[in-house]
């Protein structure tokens, strides 16, 4: 696809996406923000807001190329405007996960050595704790309320009459630091350049076959590469329309597909389950959707089948914070014939499956190694973790998959989640797919528990319906799963710990299982 190549002769930064679309279609709707009211920008207005913001960052706040700025808030138009303004100036944008505790965010802002923190109204009272003793950091409100009597970003824009001085930013500049969840210790900041974000956009355009007529709806949080890079930025590259929701609300989905004629959306299974639980779901017309993408975790096939019955192809997207994230994906034409697969290697992406230092045979599980232009360049201020993450230029994802003879990849599990029982590898995701189809189960996750005989044994953690019976549940697995893979006990619970992208946090789940007295129903 020759048109999906970065033109390095111009060294254009990604704010040029808006400049080109504003020149071609100035009145075309670029961004709808659905939060406290409805804010609409056409491409000309969005570019003007970006340039005015860049001028504030440069002239009012004194920020220079390479400086880090952080955003602390829910999805908003201001966050996207700040992101593009940062690109124009060569600043590095650090989106903060507002679901983390202020003390956790204090580590992140300190590690990134941010120069400015932009805060929306929802989190203004927590901002001082997020900064702690970082006294040199400027704190600016992006909402309606000022912080400590200082001017808000909107007020600063209105006061500034001087245009920004552009032209120093480069496409290979570090641009985005997205911090990982920190399940193995302190959070690590994955650094993406403008070039890697651009390459990811090309992969996404290929995956979704995006064009200027597309209108996407984004519920995913912009503190994650999924919310930023799976569809939001790529749609603005092709000149389409982005409707950005402050947070997930089912009625926004209903309105979007029935009235706004949304053409594509990316969801996680937890959101899709919530939509399918609505009374309107059975009669809801979603035919405006060219596709629905599901990502971030292993996807139960019954969710896919339910959407397919409505005539909309479901495509799975696989990736990681470090890979941009668009790495492996299905396309619409493949969706019905490869249900449950995560797809083929993406545009300009090389994939290896490795076990014990060697590439595995077809059908065998191996760790996913990635080499692609949308991969990150390393972890911020952490050369040791960066070195550990790569093997001869290949990023080691820590995820396990197999590949079939048709080139489709099939997700197995996270390597850190593997249960080794009596010398056998057990992949929780494989068991979860089977358990989720059993009567009385709403959600299920499987973790390993120490066992004196086998080393580890699997335990099923179940969110159950009223008619659920643990003993019958386990008996129903006879003949469906190998004996050593069967859960040895069941913990019925009201909730399963998950992160913002709907992924089960297995480290927390193990702690829950360890403290519980679950039903020992099998020996």
DSSP codes, 309-336: TTT--EEEEE--GGG-S--EE--GGGGG
What pLDDT, in 10s, does the model give residues 182-230?
544 678 999 999 999 999 999 999 999 999 999 999 999 999 999 999 9
Q: Does pLDDT of 294 surpass 50?
A: yes
pLDDT band at 7 (very low <50, low <70, confident <90, very high): low
In the predicted structure, residue 19 carries a pLDDT above the cut 80: yes
Going along the chain from its start, the domains and CATH numbers come out as: 43-169 (3.40.50.980), 418-515 (3.30.300.30)
Q: What is the pLDDT of residues 129-161, one digit of tens each?
A: 999 999 899 999 998 877 877 889 999 998 888
* pLDDT tens readout for residues 368-424: 999 999 999 999 999 999 999 999 999 999 999 999 999 999 998 877 787 878 666
- Residue 472 confidence (pLDDT): 87
Position 296 scores a pLDDT of: 61
pLDDT score recorded for residue 520: 43
**In whole angstroms, what is the distance from residue 474 CA to residue 347 CA?**
43
Q: Find the range with the poorest average confidence among 27-41, 99-113, 301-315, 478-492.
A: 478-492
Confidence band for 352, pLDDT divided at 50, 70 and 90: very high
- Contact, 6 vs 198, CB < 8 A? yes
Confidence of residue 5 (pLDDT cuts 50, 70, 90): low
pLDDT tier for residue 291 given thresholds of 50, 70 and 90:
very high
What pLDDT, on the 0 to 100 scale, is given for residue 176? 98
The neighbouring-strand residues paired with 37 are 35
Q: What single-letter DSSP state applies at residue 517?
A: -
CB 435 within 8 A of CB 442: no
Euclidean distance between CA atoms 148 and 206, whole angstroms: 47
Confidence of residue 522 (pLDDT cuts 50, 70, 90): very low
Rounded to 10 degrees, the C-alpha dihedral 497/379/412/292 comes to 70
The three-class DSSP label of residue 162 is coil
Q: Which structure tokens are listed for 107?
A: 């580590």
Nearest 5°: phi and psi at 121? -60, -30
Structure tokens at 481: 């799963």
What would the DSSP string read from start to end of 195-262? Answer: HHHHHHHHHHHHHHT--TT-EEEE-S-TTSHIIIIITHHHHHHHT-EEEEESS--HHHHHHIIIII--
pTM: 0.85
Which tops the pLDDT comparison, 438 or 186? 438
- Name the nearest CA neighbour of 115 among 68, 65, 175, 56: 68
Q: What is the pLDDT of residues 274-286, one digit of tens each?
A: 899 899 999 999 9
| Residue 387 CB burial class (10 angstroms; 0-12, 13-18, ≥19) | exposed
pLDDT, tens digit, 9 for 90 and up, residues 84-131 = 999 999 999 999 999 888 988 999 999 999 999 999 999 999 999 999
| CB neighbours of residue 476 within 10 Å | 16
Ranking 293-307, 312-326, 483-497 by mean pLDDT, the lowest is 293-307
What is the mean pLDDT of the segment spanning 459-474?
89
- What pLDDT, on the 0 to 100 scale, is given for residue 116? 97
**Stronger pLDDT, 69 or 516, i.e. the higher one:** 69
d(CA 52, CA 49): 5
pLDDT at position 519 is: 52
* Alpha carbons 6 and 13: distance in angstroms, whole number: 10
Where residue 434 falls among pLDDT bands split at 50, 70, 90?
confident
Give the model's pLDDT for residue 183: 45
């Amino acid at each position: 696809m020759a048109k999906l190549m970065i033109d390095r002769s111009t060294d254009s930064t990604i704010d040029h996406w808006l400049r080109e679309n504003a020149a071609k279609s100035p009145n075309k709707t670029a961004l709808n923000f659905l939060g406290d009211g409805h804010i609409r920008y056409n491409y000309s207005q969005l570019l003007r807001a970006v340039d005015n913001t860049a001028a504030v960052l440069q002239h009012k706040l004194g920020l220079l190329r390479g400086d880090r700025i952080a955003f602390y808030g829910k999805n908003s138009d201001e966050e996207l405007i700040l992101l593009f303004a940062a690109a124009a100036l060569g600043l590095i944008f650090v989106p903060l996960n507002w679901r983390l505790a202020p003390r956790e965010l204090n580590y992140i802002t300190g590690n990134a050595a941010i120069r400015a923190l932009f805060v929306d109204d929802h989190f203004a009272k927590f901002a001082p704790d997020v900064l702690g003793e970082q006294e040199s950091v400027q704190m600016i409100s992006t909402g309606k309320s000022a912080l400590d009597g200082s001017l808000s970003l909107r007020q600063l824009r209105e006061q500034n009459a001087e245009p920004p001085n552009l032209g120093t930013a480069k496409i290979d500049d570090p641009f985005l630091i997205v911090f990982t969840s920190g399940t193995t210790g302190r959070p690590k900041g994955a650094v993406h350049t403008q070039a890697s974000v651009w390459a990811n956009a090309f992969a996404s355009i290929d995956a979704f076959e995006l064009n200027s007529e597309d209108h996407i709806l984004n519920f995913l949080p912009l503190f994650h590469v999924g919310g930023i890079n799976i569809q939001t930025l790529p749609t603005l590259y092709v000149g389409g329309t982005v409707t950005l929701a402050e947070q997930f609300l089912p009625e926004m989905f209903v309105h979007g597909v029935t009235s706004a004629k949304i053409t594509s959306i990316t969801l996680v299974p937890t959101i899709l389950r919530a939509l399918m639980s609505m009374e309107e779901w059975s009669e809801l017309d979603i035919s405006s959707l060219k596709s629905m993408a599901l990502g971030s975790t292993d996807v139960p096939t019954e969710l896919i089948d339910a959407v397919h019955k409505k005539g909309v192809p479901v495509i799975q997207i696989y990736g990681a914070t470090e890979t941009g994230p668009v790495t492996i994906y299905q396309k619409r034409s493949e969706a019905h014939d490869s249900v449950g697969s995560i797809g083929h290697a993406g545009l300009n992406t090389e994939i290896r499956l490795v076990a014990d230092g060697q590439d595995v045979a077809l059908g065998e599980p191996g760790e996913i190694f990635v080499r692609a232009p949308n991969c990150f360049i390393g972890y911020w201020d952490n050369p040791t973790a960066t070195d550990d993450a790569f093997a001869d230029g290949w990023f080691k994802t820590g995820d396990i998959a197999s590949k079939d003879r048709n080139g489709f990849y099939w997700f197995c599990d996270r390597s850190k989640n593997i249960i080794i029982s009596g010398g056998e590898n057990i992949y929780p995701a494989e068991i979860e797919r089977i358990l989720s189809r059993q009567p009385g189960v709403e959600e299920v996750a499987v973790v390993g528990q120490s066992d004196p005989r086998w080393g580890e044994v699997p335990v099923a953690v179940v969110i159950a319906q009223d008619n659920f019976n643990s003993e019958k549940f386990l008996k129903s697995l006879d003949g469906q799963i190998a004996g050593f893979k069967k859960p040895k006990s069941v913990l019925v619970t009201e909730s399963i710990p998950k992160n913002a992208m709907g992924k089960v946090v297995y480290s927390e789940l193990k702690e829950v299982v360890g403290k519980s007295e679950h039903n020992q129903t099998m020996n």
